[in-house]
Chain A
Amino acid sequence: MDKYRLFDIIFDKAFSLYGLSVIRKTCFIVTLFLFSCFNNIAQSLNDTIHIPEVEIVAIEKFPVAANSVTEIDSFTLSQIRNMNLAELLSQYSTVFIKSTGRGSLSTASFRGTDASHTKIYWNGLNLNSPMLGQMDLSLIPATFLDHLSLYHGGSSLVKASGALGGIISIENQPAWDRDNSFSLSSEMASFGTYEASGNLYLNRNNLISHSRVFINHSDNDYPFYNTNVLPHEEQRLKNSDYSKYGYLQEFYYRIQSNDFLSIKLWLQHSDRNLPSPLSRELAETKEYQSDGNIRSVITWKHTGKLWDLELSSGITSDRINYTSEDLQQENISMDSRSQEKSLFNSFDGTLHINSKTSARVQVLYNYYDVKINELIHSQGYDAIRSEISLMTGIDRYFGKRLNGWFLMRTDRVDEDFIPLMPSLGFALKLLPEKNIFLKANLSRNYNMPSLNDLYWIPGGNPNLRPEENYTADLALDVQSKNDFILIHSLLTAYVSGINDWILWKPTQYGYWAPENVAQVFSRGLEFNIKTIKEIQAAKMFFQGNYNLSRTTGDGKQLIYIPLHAFNMHAGVLFKGFQFNYSLNYTGKRYTRTDNEEESPESILNPYFLNDISASKEFSLDKAAVKLRFAVYNLFNKDYQVILSRPMPGRNYSANVTLSF
């Protein structure tokens, strides 16, 4: 049965349970912005009527893992092809992104935590650098993702340990009913930016090959007013150009209707020039970094009446070279080469004990081999680490409205056992006939120190303990559909404490060293809402995210974490013409740990960013052409995410996409 027909049946059933008064109430909430936009135009060439994919929870049964997981849906993803993962998350999720500039190092902060507390998973492989503990999200192009889920807080334990803030899981998936297709996209944007991507999808009965490629280059020399030199002057950002290239190849083989094999390979390279502090004048000190990544995974999936199994094995090889050079003197002051090789193996099994109960088990074995050498001073280190992780859990329905689950994870890293990490939760359907769920979760988690924390010369501290975290979540998940509108909203309140948070501090020896010193208490709210509305031939869409994040150490808000942040997007689609508007707000941030406000530059001001875009799709003979034009930072707002790193003012992009 066409899956879309199934949705219709569910909608009808849900709707018939609502009275008119409910419709009026939902109208009020929903008329905030009655726009929506969909983007399945390329597939509208056949006769199936497509409606946008929405998260639907069936009335009789609800998802087994009643976790705090939010998903970025596929039509949002297809719309923002030209973005990187950092831009995507900062605009479409509650994850806060700390960015040092356009196309530059960007890391995630989930619920006020550190970049190392957010783990990025690609098809089951952890992409965080074992040396640094974190990942630069600006290096992941949105066009390489098919599916994006965010596991908030303790919900992340179902996948792995250590993600005290959460897990960002990016996945590539096959679409067995999708025809062969090919698309080419080309974009020109401000500041000498050029991007091109290609996508080839071949589907032959039981074998799919999906190839994607992208190149992205930018001079990135945006103008800004430099107040860190005397006299103040209009300048263009220097030494911030970058080039990135990537190739993603997937093969999917359907052995039987319930047995699948897949192989995925991702190659990527980027060269980036890193800008100097704004106050640096004349001396051409050039810092540049090149990143090279090879990632590959092979997976076997089996679904059955009794067992669902997944067996996966993957490798990653990452290289980062960093050089700091004085061009005038032709003198290199720093030349650092690092290499990280990782091996990942996992086994995931779900046993369906009966219609109400299932058990799950996961075994992971990972091995890391890293080395770094700084050539000018002949300094560096070599290290290896091995990790074994075992998770067992159980899900059970109690009656028709309550689902509870419990899991326990245990890790052994090298010779040490990490304390047990339990996670307990439930989802309760509050009213029998409405899709309103109350979800709760309680968990404990540990994050291992990174290899740099342990072994860096000088300063590495092999006696560091893992960081410890306790989190409690309570969420209200409301899905409402009636004749007028469809809304899905999720409100989560959380409380989280982290002990033994690792911080690097200067020592008496003149170098810095890490210690388990900090205690951080984080509490806040995450709110997400999505609505969809069709009016005759027009489709309208609105989604928004709001984040309240009070994260303190010694009673003071952590630096660079805003108390309030929100983003919202609205769009309308009408006869192939599409218009989108986005609004992004980031609240005040402190740059000093004492939250002092009087010194100049001790706070970063709050700011609004407005983006708009318009696009038009034309059908040619056997192809579709889509033209898109966008304006970012519409009101030319002057803002900084990190102190002393200017961000671009108003800028533009124009994009042409051809699909066959």
Chain B
Amino acid sequence: MENLLKPIFSGLKMMLLSLFVFISCDESPVSTGEYNFMDSSGVFIVNEGIFMQDNASLSFLNKDASRMYNDIFFIANESSLGDIACSMEIHGNKGYIAINNSGKIYSIDPGNIRFSGKITGLTSPRCIHIVNDTKGYITDLYSKKISIFNPTANELTGEIDVNNNSAFGQHSTEQMAAYGQLVFVACWSFDNQILVIDTNTDQVVDSITVTKQPNSLVIDKNDKLWVLSDGGFTGSSYGQENAALTRIDAKTRVTEEVIQFPSLDDSPFDLTINGSGDTLYYILRGIHRLCIEVAELPAETFIEPRNYDYYSLAVDPENSVIYAGDALDYQQNGLVYRFYPDGELIDSFRVGMNPGDFCFKP
């Protein structure tokens, strides 16, 4: 028996020693902190993260200091933002973030980024539009309704039913643009309508037909509604047509101009307008720009893409600096570029994964 014990013990010692090689594991980096952006003018970048991995994040670029802060929601609140953070709006002293695959809206203090409330129970929230202190709208990809909420109380107060019982799950609702007492809502997925909602009655009062799949819309200084449609995709059961930029008079709701894109391969998105409401921008294999008075598409690309293509676009309403998000390979931290109004690169910053939306903080 003694013969056995000695080798057994020396063997155990060897094994324990070799285990220590693996025991020195890394714990997650400890990330907590406090922010004070109250007096900083800047822009929030909403990073979507990867679907089903709960790794959406929020970044903030302090414009004056030219400094980017990443993962600010996690650091300020010790919690993940959620799964696919889609868009953000600031109203008064609160910021509202639509977290698409978590089915909720988070509200935060834009100064210290601390979490201040949430609205849960949504299906697939996309964009938020605040009408006034007691009313806001939340669009949704699947639920076929627009939720009405009270931004001050952080509560759902009602809904606008937009189900038309079609074979394509309509209507999905996406971006919104306000005009007086009305809100125009783009219905993008397998759809071709712009719904018109009266914010006094919360009813759909009209519906404008445009080219298939309107993904973004803006209102210019002349009260014209511009809608960018991607036209659908090859093999879609809903059909495909050429993408188009449509101009509609917001008051009369008459379609004035439909500018078609030349090829079925063109799939433009992210229509944006500058602060003075006279220049439009969109992404299509690079960033394009056109003046609202011109009724044709620009001949040249304004800013060439650096990788596959830009992922998101925004124009600073104050100084017309152009912000563009780049998702790189969609599985790592992305980039945000800043360009002067003439298209020249200012600088670039690393941000979170899949930077999808910008929200300016005055």
Cα separation A232 to B115 with both chains bound (whole Å): 13
- B330 partner residues in chain A, CB cutoff 8 A: 505-506
Asked if A606 contacts B79 (CB within 8 A), the reply is no
Asked if A643 contacts B54 (CB within 8 A), the reply is yes
Contact indicator per residue, chain B 79-104, by CB within 8 Å of chain A (1) or not (0) = 11111000000000000000101111
Asked if A600 contacts B31 (CB within 8 A), the reply is yes
- CB nearest to B308 among chain A residues: A505
Given A28-B7, A31-B8, A227-B80, A596-B99 contact (CB < 8 Å)? no
Quick one: which of A568-598 are within 8 Å of B by CB? Answer: 585, 587-588, 591-594, 596-598
Minimum CB–CB distance from A349 to chain B (whole Å) comes to 44
- A509 partner residues in chain B, CB cutoff 8 A: 230, 233, 267
Asked if B10 contacts A31 (CB within 8 A), the reply is yes
- A593 partner residues in chain B, CB cutoff 8 A: 329, 331-332
- A355 partner residues in chain B, CB cutoff 8 A: none
- By DSSP majority rule, is chain A's interface helix, strand, loop, or mixed? loop
Query: How many chain A residues touch B (Cβ–Cβ < 8 Å)?
Result: 65
- CB nearest to B5 among chain A residues: A31
Kindly state whether residue B294 has any CB partner on chain A within 8 Å.
no
Please pick, from A232, A379, A605, the residue contacting B236 in the complex, using a CB distance under 8 A.
A379
Minimum CB–CB distance from B325 to chain A (whole Å) comes to 12
Contact indicator per residue, chain B 212-223, by CB within 8 Å of chain A (1) or not (0) = 000100000000
Cα separation A281 to B117 with both chains bound (whole Å): 13
Please pick, from B15, B74, B333, the residue contacting A596 in the complex, using a CB distance under 8 A.
B333
Given A511-B233, A599-B70, A283-B52 contact (CB < 8 Å)? no
Asked if A506 contacts B327 (CB within 8 A), the reply is yes
Kindly state whether residue B201 has any CB partner on chain A within 8 Å.
no
- CB nearest to B9 among chain A residues: A31
Asked if A377 contacts B124 (CB within 8 A), the reply is no
Q: Which of A145-153, A324-332, A360-368 contacts B (4 or more CB under 8 A)?
A: A324-332
Asked if B285 contacts A277 (CB within 8 A), the reply is no
Asked if B15 contacts A281 (CB within 8 A), the reply is no
Contact indicator per residue, chain A 265-300, by CB within 8 Å of chain B (1) or not (0) = 000000000000111111101000000000000000
Asked if A229 contacts B121 (CB within 8 A), the reply is no
Cα separation A29 to B75 with both chains bound (whole Å): 49
Asked if A605 contacts B28 (CB within 8 A), the reply is yes
Kindly state whether residue A490 has any CB partner on chain B within 8 Å.
no
Asked if B25 contacts A605 (CB within 8 A), the reply is yes
Asked if B103 contacts A282 (CB within 8 A), the reply is yes
- B103 partner residues in chain A, CB cutoff 8 A: 280-283, 285
Asked if B83 contacts A587 (CB within 8 A), the reply is no
Cα separation A525 to B235 with both chains bound (whole Å): 45
Minimum CB–CB distance from A326 to chain B (whole Å) comes to 5
- CB nearest to B84 among chain A residues: A277
Minimum CB–CB distance from A539 to chain B (whole Å) comes to 15
Asked if A600 contacts B332 (CB within 8 A), the reply is no
Kindly state whether residue B158 has any CB partner on chain A within 8 Å.
no
Asked if B74 contacts A600 (CB within 8 A), the reply is yes
- By DSSP majority rule, is chain B's interface helix, strand, loop, or mixed? loop
Kindly state whether residue A230 has any CB partner on chain B within 8 Å.
yes
Kindly state whether residue B53 has any CB partner on chain A within 8 Å.
yes
Contact indicator per residue, chain A 495-511, by CB within 8 Å of chain B (1) or not (0) = 00000000001111111
Asked if A508 contacts B285 (CB within 8 A), the reply is yes
Cα separation A379 to B167 with both chains bound (whole Å): 11
Asked if B80 contacts A508 (CB within 8 A), the reply is no
Minimum CB–CB distance from A11 to chain B (whole Å) comes to 21
Asked if B54 contacts A228 (CB within 8 A), the reply is yes
Given A30-B11, A331-B143, A606-B25, A643-B121 contact (CB < 8 Å)? no
Please pick, from A29, A229, A643, the residue contacting B53 in the complex, using a CB distance under 8 A.
A643
Please pick, from A282, A594, A600, the residue contacting B28 in the complex, using a CB distance under 8 A.
A600
Asked if B7 contacts A27 (CB within 8 A), the reply is yes
Minimum CB–CB distance from A451 to chain B (whole Å) comes to 14
5 A-B residue pairs with CB within 8 Å = A232-B78, A277-B82, A282-B104, A600-B31, A600-B74
Interface on B for A, CB 8 Å cutoff?
A: 4, 7-8, 10-12, 14-15, 22, 25-29, 31, 52-55, 57, 70-71, 74-75, 77-83, 99, 101-104, 106, 115, 118, 120-124, 141-145, 167-169, 190, 215, 230, 233-238, 267, 269, 284-285, 308-309, 311, 327, 329-333, 352-353
Interface on A for B, CB 8 Å cutoff?
A: 27-34, 227-230, 232, 277-283, 285, 326, 328-329, 331, 333-334, 376-379, 381, 457-458, 460, 505-511, 559, 564, 585, 587-588, 591-594, 596-601, 603, 605-608, 642-644
Query: What 5 A-B pairs are tightest by C-beta distance, nearest first?
Result: A31-B11, A333-B142, A279-B82, A594-B332, A644-B54
